[in-house]
Amino acid sequence: MAASTTTTYIAASTRALAEEMARDPRVWALGEDLGRGGVFGQYEGLQERFGAARIADTPISEACIMGAAVGAALAGTRPVVEMRFSDFALCATDELVNQAAKARFMFGGQAKVPLVARQPVGMWRSSAAQHSQSLEAWYAHVPGLVVVAPATPADNLGLLKSAIRADDPVVYLEHKGLWPLEGAVPDGEHLTPIGVADVAREGRDLTLVTWSAMRWRCLEAARALAADGVEAEVIDLRTLWPWDRDRVLASVEKTGRLLVVHEAVTVGGFGAEIAAFVAEHLHARLEAPVRRLGAPRIPIAYAPPLENAARVTPDAIASAARAMTAPAAADAS
């Protein structure tokens, strides 16, 4: 077994960027407040080590930051773009969606845009409606973009390194609530392949497909279900585009039931894509109708009790799973 060190989710990302900058002089980062370590501290110490030209502070203009990164990527460098909050990245949507995502196709493969757009997502300490969103479905919808959502410190190391080495633009979604999460991270070189899901827990009765912070709530729900005799398999997609269809289909073929869980709003969420795909391919094999569980279609409130009302909890996941595994659910299918 490879040696490992216990590291936080945020420290793993700092290590990933430092290792890639040391390995490849074309890698650099730009964004607001990077010189003082970034708004969450994910760039701590990097400007002192690599200099202000490679850990570059920028004006407060997301469109300017993304536009500069697209041009720099087309010119042959590998920029890492810091958007601070995914909500703020909407100011740079044209540069990302209309320029970065399309350049390879529109130039007949003669150009590429190897940038990583880091966009912290999710609910975090009453950050309210403009700082709490999970918009991964928007980006998964856009041809040309890769979408990554790590849930563990090891994956935040391995996936960020793989994203930096990718030749297409990557929307890299780190959950703000996971920054202090500790976990074992392999020592030495560690790459997590893009597009490969992780079976976080094996089971036989029900498949829970999820990503990002919901991995941990699904695992908590699975432990509660196990006490009732229901063994849930938990699949952390890790990458939303491309997503690991084969692993999901294999799991649902085994269990006969699928519940997709995400923090984003249920309506139009990426769970709908997974549910539709599985229903198209495995309808005759399903023991119960496919279900989705996400947030209600409401803005996320500042007040903690109202914010909590929008959260997907382990109890809600377990309750949905119990309904699907009850005898009546099979009759309904």
DSSP state of 100: I
Structure tokens at 106: 């529109």
User: Is 37 exposed, middle or buried, given 0-12, 13-18 or 19+ CB atoms closer than 10 A?
Assistant: middle
Q: How many CA atoms lie within 13 A of 16 on its CB side?
A: 30
Between CA 142 and CA 327 the distance in angstroms is 40
Q: Which of the following is catalytic: 131, 175, 190, 262?
A: 131
Whether 64 and 91 have beta carbons less than 8 Å apart is answered as no
Between CA 321 and CA 260 the distance in angstroms is 10
Between CA 327 and CA 20 the distance in angstroms is 52
Whether 252 and 206 have beta carbons less than 8 Å apart is answered as no
Is 175 annotated as catalytic?
A: no
Q: Catalogue the active-site residues.
A: 131
